Amino acid sequence: MYALFDDAGKFHAGRLMSETDSSVQVELDSGKRVKVKVANVMLRFDQPAPAELMAQAQTLAAEIDLGLAWEFAPEGEFSFTDLAHEYFDASAGPDKQAATLLRLFDAPHYFRRLGRGLFRKAPEETVKAALLGIERKKAVAAQIDAWATELTQGGCPAPVREQLYRILFKPDKNAAEYKAVVEAARRAQRAPLDLLKAAGAIDSAYQFHWRRFLFEQFPKGHAFAAELSAPEVRDTLPLAPVQAFSIDDSATTEIDDALSVTGIGQGTVILGIHIAAPGLAITPDSALDKVARERLSTVYMPGWKITMLPDAVVQAYTLVEGRDCPAISLYVTLDEATLQLRGTETRIERVPVAANLRHDQLDEVVTEASLTGEAVAEYPFAAELAFCFRLARHLKAAREVVRGKPELFTRPDYNFRLESDDDETEPTGHERVTIVTRRRGAPLDLIVAEAMILANSHWGGWLAEHGVPGIYRSQSSMLPGVKVRMGTKPQPHAGMGVAQYAWSTSPLRRYVDLVNQWQIIACARHGRTAALAAPFRPKDAALFSVISAFDAAYSAYNGFQQGIERYWTLRWLEQNAVAEIDAAVMKDGLVRAETLPLVFRLPGTESLPRGSRVRARITGMDLLTLDLHATLAARLDVAAPAAVAEEEGAEDEIEASGPLTIAIDLDEGAPVVDLAAGPA
């Protein structure tokens, strides 16, 4: 005697060895004996043999017409043996009964399983819906196969091209387009990115990087709503008795800061640090605030930018020359001879902006020699700039005492200029690029940087004195690995050598600065009762939310800026047909180009001392992955490791008017594309 039994949805047949009231023992063809509950025994038979029965049943099951079986099935509960007699004939044997069982069990859209070999017909509507779903799945599977075939043959289906960035970076793994790419990559034994590139899905490396960034950071687009407008400052503000000037690059439109100097030659000099004041008009939770909070910062890149605020709003509050601009001003009173601090005062006022000075027009003229009187040169605000430079060097020296070591700027900054017929049109990636070197710590840079550090440090302490929380940046020590952190309490910033530091001087382009400006305005208006009137209170959860969101966004924006500057650096090499470049060894086979913002891997330098100068021969580049391929052409010299100057401290903290261009400085080349290198 043999038995067919159900084992967790799988059917087996074997010889019946023994039986009790609750279970039976069955010997399978393999010789293995299993204990089976009586309730799980579906069929008992004496012929044919178990293996033969299962083979016959599977063949017959494939031939059963489910639609016809559904028609023949009785209403209500029924057993598979009942349907076998109805479908085949009244004398249907074990093979046909087993075939019916297998077929019913594999067709839940036609028959509902009730257990113990019992079934019930599914309602007609359910059957129709299930059949429609099956046909749809077949159609999708056929479509996936067709798309995968087209991809492996070097073509790219339009739906795949349209979903390119979602497929690569935020895939819906149930989507047909994603499955087609995975299947094509499996067939072709290629990485998805390589496959899509070969299929023509990525026709522009620049657009790939740009569209990927927009997809990840601005999925709803980066255009502003048309109805956003700049509210007016309703307060009647006094006019400051100064003539202020700003120092920025010519491309800067968000002029956040300006300076003024009065009293030169009178023994007491007053330095005015004037910051654009959108916080006087934009209020928390307003439409503009929500936009700024969503973006959190302006995004900078060569030839283009995505501003935090609409251009019309920026133009309403920017410190443009020829206007009396609303501003938050910090006045620092100093002894002219000793530069000793005598007092400070914060005012809310209108500031006459006399001039917008530009780096690219004055850097070659406003030199250290001209500012110290060793050389003669003519330029606007010469006396004021000379005093500011003297003060900046004094402030920097004082910070370096606290730091315990001087700030060394051994590497230059780089500015990227794109040659385009229309500055109002975003780049396409095909423009000719010029890379201009600027010495770090140049006099005009130093003047602005030290003034902004002074303001941010002072206002951070001022908020604390009034019991008003702000958003601070701090660094507990300068030991390797100790990072700059953001928080709501004033703490020392070891890298900068200040007691506290709160970003407050760029409210047009950083949301953190706008938040701090609201708090500073409360202190200026309400004095000791400011804590009751400030928009944000101590331990306000909203402040921690801003910090978390800003950290993530600012990191992503800077990462994109570094990546896109690397793209333009590679394009510069390509456009100028550069075959060899000189570089300095860093570590682990990485080298830094001497005259470009470029770090790349150079085989053969792994054992060279840090600082060794080498010449690299360029063998190729990939604008999609931003890789530069090179071989070691020559060793130029070997510098002792101790002779290599290290730049430490506040590299990302030094303020500048306008965007900061941060040279790429990666110890490890992080991949720009988050895809597996091998086949899917």
Looking at per-residue pLDDT, the higher value among 676 and 315 belongs to 315
Q: What pLDDT score does 407 carry?
A: 82
Q: Tell me if 435 sits within 8 A of 577, measured CB to CB.
A: no
Residue 509 placed within a domain: yes
Pair (325, 363) in one structural domain:
yes
Asked whether residue 350 falls in the same domain as residue 322, the answer is yes
Most confident range (mean pLDDT) of 206-210, 586-590, 615-619 is: 615-619
**Same domain (yes/no): 115, 137:** no
Helix and strand counts by DSSP (H, E) for the chain? 19, 24
Q: Does residue 413 lie in a domain region? A: yes
Do 62 and 80 fall into the same domain?
Answer: yes
Our CA angle for 190, 192, 193, nearest 5°, is: 105
Question: Is position 455 within any domain?
Answer: yes
Residues 118 and 131 in one domain: no
Q: Are 251 and 364 in contact (CB under 8 A)?
A: no
Q: How many domains does the chain have?
A: 4
Locate the DSSP E strands across 564-655.
580-585, 590-593, 599-601, 613-622, 627-637
Lowest mean pLDDT among 519-528, 630-639, 666-675: 666-675
Could you tell me the pLDDT band of residue 195, with boundaries at 50, 70 and 90?
confident
Are 487 and 545 found together in one domain? yes
Percentage of the chain with pLDDT > 90? 61
Domain presence at residue 648:
no
Nearest to 260 by CA among 451, 505, 458: 451
- What does each C-alpha distance from 475 to 49, 223, 467, 472 come to in angstroms? 80, 36, 22, 10
Which of 522, 556, 590 is a domain's end point? 556
Q: What is the CATH number of the domain that holds 616?
A: 2.40.50
316 plus 443 within the same structural domain: yes
The chain-wide mean pLDDT, for the chain, equals: 87
Residue where a domain terminates, one of 203, 231, 260: 203
Highest mean pLDDT among 130-144, 349-363, 406-420, 644-658: 349-363
Distance (Å, rounded) from C-alpha 650 to C-alpha 407? 8
Q: Pairing relation of β-strands 341-358 and 244-248?
A: parallel
Render 248-283 in DSSP notation, one character per residue.
E-TT-----EEEEEE-TTSSEEEEEEEEE-GGGT--
**Mean pLDDT computed over 577-606:** 93
In the predicted structure, residue 88 carries a pLDDT above the cut 60: yes
- Tokens, residue 523: 């202190």
What letter would DSSP give residue 641?
A: G
Distances (CA, A) of 503 to 255, 313, 377, 506, 663: 16, 21, 34, 7, 22
pLDDT in the model for residue 333: 96
Say how far apart CA 285 and CA 542 lie, in whole Å: 11
Q: Which residue has the higher pLDDT, 101 or 421?
A: 101
- Look at residue 423 in the predicted model and tell me its pLDDT: 60
Q: If you average pLDDT over residues 233-255, what whole number do you get?
A: 91
Q: What is the pLDDT of residue 422?
A: 58
CA distances from 287 to 227, 327, 399, 535, 628 (A): 10, 22, 40, 16, 45
At residue 639, the pLDDT reads 54
What are residue 474's DSSP bridge partners?
485
pLDDT of residue 441: 78
Is 480 found in the same domain as 387? yes
Greatest mean pLDDT among 162-166, 226-230, 345-349 lies in 345-349
491 SS3 class:
coil
Q: Please indicate, yes or no, whether residues 38 and 71 belong to a single structural domain of this protein.
A: yes
DSSP letters for 538-573? TT-HHHHHHHHHHHHHHHHHHHHHHHHHHHHHHHHH
Query: What is the sign of the dihedral through the CA atoms of 417, 211, 662 and 456?
Result: positive
Q: What is the DSSP string of 8-28?
A: TTEEEEEEEEEE-SSEEEEE-
Sign of the torsion formed by the C-alpha atoms of 214, 215, 218 and 220: positive
pLDDT of 656 over the 50 cut: no
Considering the domain boundaries, does residue 480 fall inside one?
yes
pLDDT, tens digit, 9 for 90 and up, residues 446-459: 999 999 999 999 99
Evaluate whether 417 touches 434 at the Cβ level (below 8 Å): yes
Judged against a pLDDT cut of 50, whether residue 598 lies above it is answered with: yes
pLDDT at 648: 39
116 and 144 housed in the same domain = no
pLDDT at 373: 87
In a domain, 329, yes or no: yes
pLDDT > 70? residue 652:
no
Residue 659 lies in a domain: no
Residue ending a domain, choose from 524, 556, 588:
556
Q: How far apart are CA 451 and CA 504, in angstroms?
A: 12
Residues in the chain, how many? 680
Contact 420, 431 (CB under 8 A): yes
Residue 457 is assigned to a structural domain of this protein? yes
Same domain, 106 and 154: no
Residue with tokens 């002792």: 640
pTM: 0.76
Q: What per-residue confidence (pLDDT) applies to 351?
A: 96
DSSP 421-479: S-TTS---S-SEEEEEEE-TT-HHHHHHHHHHHHHHHHHHHHHHHTT----EEEBS--S
Q: What percent of the chain has pLDDT over 70?
A: 93
3-state secondary structure of 209: helix
Q: Where in the sequence is the domain holding 607, given as residue range(s)?
A: 578-643
Say whether both 319 and 447 belong to one domain: yes
Q: % helix / strand / coil in the chain, to the nearest 5?
A: 35, 25, 40
The values of phi and psi at residue 609, to 5°, are -65, 150
**Whole-angstrom distance, CA of residue 196 vs CA of residue 107:** 39
